[in-house]
Amino acid sequence: MTDARIEAYLDALRAELRGLPSRVVDETVAEIRAHLAQSAEAGAEVGQLLAGFGSPQDYAREVRAAIVPDEQVDGARPQGRLLGMPYDFRGPSADRIGSRMWNPADPRIFTPRTFGLGWTVNFGALVVKLGLIRPDDTDAEQFERAPAAAVWAALAIPAVMALATVLILAVSWSSLPAEVPVHWGPGGTPDGWAPKTVGAGIVLAFGVLPVVVTYVRVLRRGAGQRTRVLAASVLSLFSALGVALAIMTVQGDRSHPVPLWAALVGGVVLGFFVLYVPARLGLRTEWRDLDDQEG
């Protein structure tokens, strides 16, 4: 059922809420509409119902007061801007990584990067855009509800790739020439060389060290599942690049434009699934729990 007074009220409210994320506005309006429709069906009078919400100006003020202070402290804002690009050199905290890499409620796909300069991909917005989940389906708890096996599987992916990097270097070590490529031109042709210990060191520092250092931190007691999944997702990209670098290093002077690009694309795709699968499984557990409570 629709009523001109309801539509006029909601239009005025939308105008008052201008400037807030469109998700918040849509959600607020949808909720009021549902409330009005249900109460009106139960026999309440529309004018009286609308009076219960106060004027659109008052209601908008309440919504802003409820939403804005939390947004200012949740860390989703960058430290500042440099030449129009957001920067943030505060040490990355799990919460800040989380609010930027996985925030389905934020419609922006590119959010300020967690550490350094530039932007980061908000996988949460991506899966919403792809229609895989709805923005308000999720909360921080959904990773905590993911099955432990899924979290371990996510963590295993970068670990396996880091291991592969070490194996590739170890197996070909004795047959490697004294100098190996350490830099490649745009076409994938090697154009910089260094002793093989240096070359191997670069590969290990890039593809293996981040995995080891991060795992030491996130496997300690007390790290939440969300922290672990996020770490696994970021490290998937690093370790995929590590594998590609190792292959390129041991292949000597052959030119190979493919591995680095393949690793970059593969790493991002892998990082996405490492994040998405546990999130999805956590969501399913949540829904099942709700159904159990109902039934």
Contacts with another protein, residue ranges (CB under 8 A): 24, 27-28, 30-35, 37-39, 41, 49, 52-54, 58-59, 62-63, 65-67, 70-71, 134, 136-137, 139-141, 144, 286-287, 290, 293-294
Which C-beta is closer to another protein: that of 146 or that of 180?
146
Residue closer to another protein, measured from CB, 41 or 47? 41
**In the complex, least distance from residue 174 CB atom to another protein, rounded to whole angstroms:** 55
Between 17 and 240, CB nearer to another protein? 17
CB of 155 to another protein, least distance (A): 23
DSSP β-bridge partners for residue 110 = 121
Cα–Cα distances in angstroms (integers) from residue 41 to residues 28, 169, 260, in the given order: 20, 71, 61
Closest contact distance (angstroms) between CB of 151 and another protein is: 17
Neighbour-count burial for 27-60, b at 16+ CB within 10 Å, e otherwise:
ebbeebeeebeeeeeeeeebeebbeeeeebeebb
Q: Which is nearer to another protein, 37 or 260 (CB)?
A: 37
Choose between 57 and 79: whose C-beta lies nearer to another protein: 57
Q: How far is the CB of 17 from another protein (least distance, A)?
A: 11
Report how far apart, in Å, the C-alpha atoms of 100 and of each of 73, 122, 144, 169, 235 are: 14, 6, 18, 35, 16
- Cα separation, 241 vs 61, in Å, equals 49
Sheet holding 116-117, edge to edge: 80-82, 85-88, 116-117
Minimal distance, residue 49 CB to another protein, in Å: 7
